[in-house]
């Protein structure tokens, strides 16, 4: 009787363990996909900041030559700040997901 109860308890714990392993594998797979997507988004954001930086330099030159108004220069600068904000947000999201994956993998290897 005791042996049957212990075997049943073992099977129950084994099923819970197997289900948790399955869930962990799914979570890790999703994190890897998220990280890959966020890396692509981040790289695109870097290009946007570079482009916005070039736009500022061009706008400064035009402003100094009197070809554009101060409001136009401020508008270009505002676009640069928006691109920079997006850059930091995307970098944060990428690093957060990467840290989450690293934490899970470190715990899985213990």
Total residues found in the chain within this entry: 110
For the chain, list the domains and their CATH numbers.
Answer: 37-110 (1.10.287)
pTM greater than 0.85 = no
Read off the pLDDT band of 75 (50, 70, 90). very high
Q: Chain centroid to CA 8: how far? A: 43
- Tokens representing residue 82 in the block: 């928006």
pLDDT tens digits, residue range 1-50? 889 999 999 999 999 999 999 999 999 999 999 999 999 999 999 999 99
Residue 107's pLDDT is what? 79
Helix pair 2-64, 70-108: axis angle to 10 deg: 160
Read off the pLDDT band of 60 (50, 70, 90). very high
């Amino acid at each position: 009787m005791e042996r049957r109860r212990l075997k049943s308890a073992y099977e129950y714990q084994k099923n819970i363990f197997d289900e948790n392993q399955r869930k962990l594998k799914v979570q890790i797979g999703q994190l890897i996909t998220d990280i890959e997507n966020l890396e692509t988004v981040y790289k695109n954001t870097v290009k946007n900041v570079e482009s916005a930086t070039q736009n500022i330099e061009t706008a400064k030159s035009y402003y100094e030559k009197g070809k554009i108004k101060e409001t136009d220069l401020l508008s270009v600068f505002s676009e640069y700040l928006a691109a920079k904000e997006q850059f930091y947000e995307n970098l944060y999201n990428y690093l957060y997901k990467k840290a989450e994956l690293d934490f899970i993998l470190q715990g899985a290897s213990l």
